[in-house]
Amino acid sequence: MNLSIAQILGSINLFLVIYTLIDSFEKFYNYKEYLTGGALSWSLLRKNSSFTSKSESFRNFIDIIFPIRPWFFLIAFRMICGLGLLVLPFNSPFFAFLYASLFIIGFLVSLRNQAYGAETENRFSLIIIGTLLLRSLSPTDRVTLASLWFIALLVCLSYLIAGISMLGNRDWRRGNGFKYVVASVEMIPFKKINTFFDEHKVLTQLVNWLIILFECAFPMVLFAGQIVFWCFLVLGIILHLAIAFGFRMGKFFWVWMATYPALIFIAQR
Amino acid sequence: MPFRELIIALIFILWLTANICYLFINKRRGDFTHRSDLFRWLSTVKLFSRSETFYLSYRDKLADQSLMLWQSVSLNQPWRPYHAIWFPARTIGECVKSMLSDLAHYARKDQSGLGRKKIKERFIYHALFYFLQRYPKNDDSLGRQFRIQDKENNEVFISDFYRE
């Protein structure tokens, strides 16, 4: 069964929109943190030296858009743009506007919270949204192909880098990295799971090396044939489901799943 | 190839090359600087390759100069199956963990060098105090102090007393 370009892009959009809606609803749910006294209040974040060192015109601009009211207006607009991607017909001329809006607001989310580190899933979603924005500016076959290759290459690179980073970490290299993570009550506050992995050392070492092998070898999906491709894809889905349920990082799942249709498209060819 | 396609192809090539160059040449610095740089987005993806955990605790100094016991700050929420889809409480926990990790990183570096920004001048140092204000304190408190420990309970950093 071969998927059409419309189905591939539609699937990417669907996963991106699910991520965008969950992330936006979570921001609304946490609105108290955006009020004065909250950890995400603009009265606090604006004191960050990466803002105070900027020009006065830039500071005036962010002082207009980052306080709670305009900020939540932008987040609500982001949700509407996300829904627009699902409602409007494929290749609608409005797509460029919707992607551009999602890209700008996503970038502002990253900028506003930069003192607290990267929201990794938001930043990875920006790569996908940015790519689809470029594609929507010139939706020809060649640009579509280049866009899907770009997404596929970057997701392979993301796994490869994570694998290399694990190899650079002494705990993971010794086969204990996975154990330290899953046996840690800070990472998974579920005593039965912590104890289970703490007691099964051979299993945790096996999973440790399986994860490293999976991540380092993931770029093979681009050229190793259908069987290898589907094995990696299924393993990837299992890994991300485990991360979502175990580590409660569900938003990662949707963003990384948004890249898999691009991989399927490359594998089909 | 039409001009617009050529420009888009060039942007893709530049974006990919810049990501690859940054990842392999300068990835260490990218964890702490220029977090909104267009070409450094991928470098934040580590998928648990860093497993170091830090713990935050605080104590108050009272009017009679006595010190209260250290109170540990729990950033954990009980595990629930629906957290796989909906877990807004993770946001603040992750913010605090990021601040602890960054402060621990700075504390382990030499802070005495001229021109290097002192920990106490950093935004996250003050943001941590701001965060700790949500925890109750006595009316006669003279100030609050926080401490960062690693998983072996070694003290990584201890702040001055701070009063609003």
CB contact under 8 A, A26 and B2: no
The helix (H) or strand (E) run that includes residue B62 is strand B54-62
Which one of A26, A47, A138 has the shortest CB-CB distance to B91?
A: A26
Question: A248 in contact with B at a CB cutoff of 8 Å?
Answer: yes
Q: What are phi and psi of A179, to 5 degrees?
A: -60, -45
Give yes or no for residue B158 having a pLDDT over 70. yes
Residue of B79, B149, B164 to mutate for A, most A C-beta atoms under 10 A: B79
Identify the closest residue of chain B to A126 by CA–CA distance. Answer: B41
Distance (Å, whole) CA A241 – CA B69: 41
Distance from CA of A183 to the nearest CA of B (A): 11
Cα of first residue to Cα of last residue in chain A, in angstroms, is: 12
Position B99 scores a pLDDT of 92
Q: What are phi and psi of B126, to 5 degrees?
A: -75, -35
pLDDT tens digits for range A202-231: 999 999 999 999 999 999 999 998 999 999
Question: B91 in contact with A at a CB cutoff of 8 Å?
Answer: yes
Identify the closest residue of chain B to A150 by CA–CA distance. Answer: B12
Least confident of A18-27, B16-25, B81-90: B16-25
Distance from CA of A158 to the nearest CA of B (A): 6
CB contact under 8 A, A44 and B124: no
Interface confidence, given as ipTM, is: 0.91
Q: What are phi and psi of B142, to 5 degrees?
A: -90, -15
A257 in Cβ contact with A28 (< 8 Å): no
CB contact under 8 A, A39 and B92: yes
Q: Positive or negative CA dihedral for A151, A155, A160, A162?
A: positive
A125 in Cβ contact with A16 (< 8 Å): yes
pLDDT tens digits for range B30-84: 444 445 555 556 655 566 655 578 999 999 999 998 999 999 999 888 999 999 9
Position A1 scores a pLDDT of 66
Which residues of B fall within a CB distance of 8 Å from A190? Answer: 79
Position B45 scores a pLDDT of 56
CB contact under 8 A, B45 and A162: yes
pLDDT band at B27 (very low <50, low <70, confident <90, very high): low
Cα of first residue to Cα of last residue in chain B, in angstroms, is: 63
List A residues 82-101 in contact with B (Cβ-Cβ < 8 A).
Answer: none
Which one of A39, A123, A143 has the shortest CB-CB distance to B5?
A: A143
Question: A30 in contact with B at a CB cutoff of 8 Å?
Answer: yes
Distance (Å, whole) CA A207 – CA A188: 16
Q: Which CA distances in Å does A176 have to A43, A238, A240, A244?
A: 43, 21, 20, 21
Distance (Å, whole) CA B98 – CA B104: 10
Question: A153 in contact with B at a CB cutoff of 8 Å?
Answer: yes
Percentage, residues of chain B above pLDDT 90: 46
Q: Which of A40, A53, A261 is nearest to B127 (CA)?
A: A40
Give the DSSP per-residue string, B11-46: HHHHHHHHHHHHHHHSHHHHTTS-TT-TT-SGGG--
- Model pTM? 0.92
